[in-house]
Homo-oligomer: A and B are copies of this chain.
């Protein structure tokens, strides 16, 4: 595990043993779960977006920023196959921001809120002392959708590994306007049982590593099968982009082989599902070279299997 955020997150998680009856899911998944009464639980996620890191106000509009902040949390709801319930939003505004800018930001928040029936129910507005800083934080609640929330730690040796949509190149624009896969996650889990799932925020290589680490399994990917976004330039480096660019906000999930066959047969949605590999007992992530000359991140001859290292976005780098 090489990601700085993963290391500190796992350290945080070890500091306290939460009583499992009240908190079935704690630190380290896409959302935490709180059991409030028999059969009644709520999930919560928090996502902070910084100007200059997750967006750039020099090129992005405030409406896009508001939309992205909500969509990132909605993607967490999707990652657990849960139903969004409500959101609260905090903003740290640059000095000089006024009501007009807040209303523009609000319109983006509401666009996402309306699309996914997830009302804005509260917030906090603060202001920096200078003009150079902007930060937005969304905390979102969701509820289970009949089935238990799908976690990261349930992948089993032999599971098929699948993704929705296509990967790579999101930072060229899609990261500001992506559609969180809330409906797709609920549809998939209504058709078959998933063993593990998360959303792709930091890049396939880093996020798959999280599922592998938490599930104590390995994985092998087939370069040929990874769906590469049309945003990614053709040529060498395209697979590297799909593996590591990040901010795809697609679903990454694993399920038993027979369930995968069943799902792919029944799936007729406009958002494609692609099988990209298999969970193994190798204790590490591996990738099989392309037959079309496309190489792994480290290069290598056609068909050769090499180790895949997490090389996506590291929040603490």
Chain A residues near B (Cβ < 8 Å): 4-5, 7-9, 11-12, 15-16, 18, 23, 26-27, 29, 31-32, 34, 36-37, 39-40, 42, 44-50, 52-54, 85-86, 88-93, 97-99, 102-103, 106, 110, 119-129, 133, 135, 137, 139, 141, 143, 315-317
Can you list 22 A-B pairs with a CB-CB distance of less than 8 A?
A12-B123, A15-B106, A15-B110, A23-B119, A27-B120, A34-B141, A36-B40, A36-B42, A46-B89, A46-B139, A47-B90, A47-B124, A49-B126, A50-B133, A52-B128, A53-B126, A53-B129, A92-B135, A97-B316, A98-B316, A127-B315, A127-B316
Q: Return chain B residues, CB-CB under 8 Å to A16.
A: 110, 119-120
Min CB distance A298 to B, Å, is: 27
> Which residue of A7, A39, A126 has the most chain B CB atoms within 10 A of its CB atom?
A126
Pair A48/B90 contact, Cβ less than 8 Å: yes
Q: Return chain B residues, CB-CB under 8 Å to A88.
A: 32, 44-46, 139
A316–B42 Cα distance when bound, in Å, is: 33
Q: Return chain B residues, CB-CB under 8 Å to A139.
A: 44, 46, 88, 137, 139
Min CB distance A207 to B, Å, is: 15
A89–B47 Cα distance when bound, in Å, is: 9
A143–B22 Cα distance when bound, in Å, is: 13
Q: Return chain B residues, CB-CB under 8 Å to A103.
A: 8, 11
* Also in contact, A90 and B122, with CB within 8 A (given A15-B106, A36-B40, A110-B16): no
Pair B4/A99 contact, Cβ less than 8 Å: yes
Min CB distance A120 to B, Å, is: 7
Q: Which residue of B lies closest to A47 (CB)?
A: B124
Q: Return chain B residues, CB-CB under 8 Å to A44.
A: 44, 86, 88, 121-122, 139, 141
Q: Return chain B residues, CB-CB under 8 Å to A110.
A: 15-16
Min CB distance A203 to B, Å, is: 16
Q: Return chain B residues, CB-CB under 8 Å to A127.
A: 50, 53, 315-317
Q: Return chain B residues, CB-CB under 8 Å to A85.
A: 34, 36
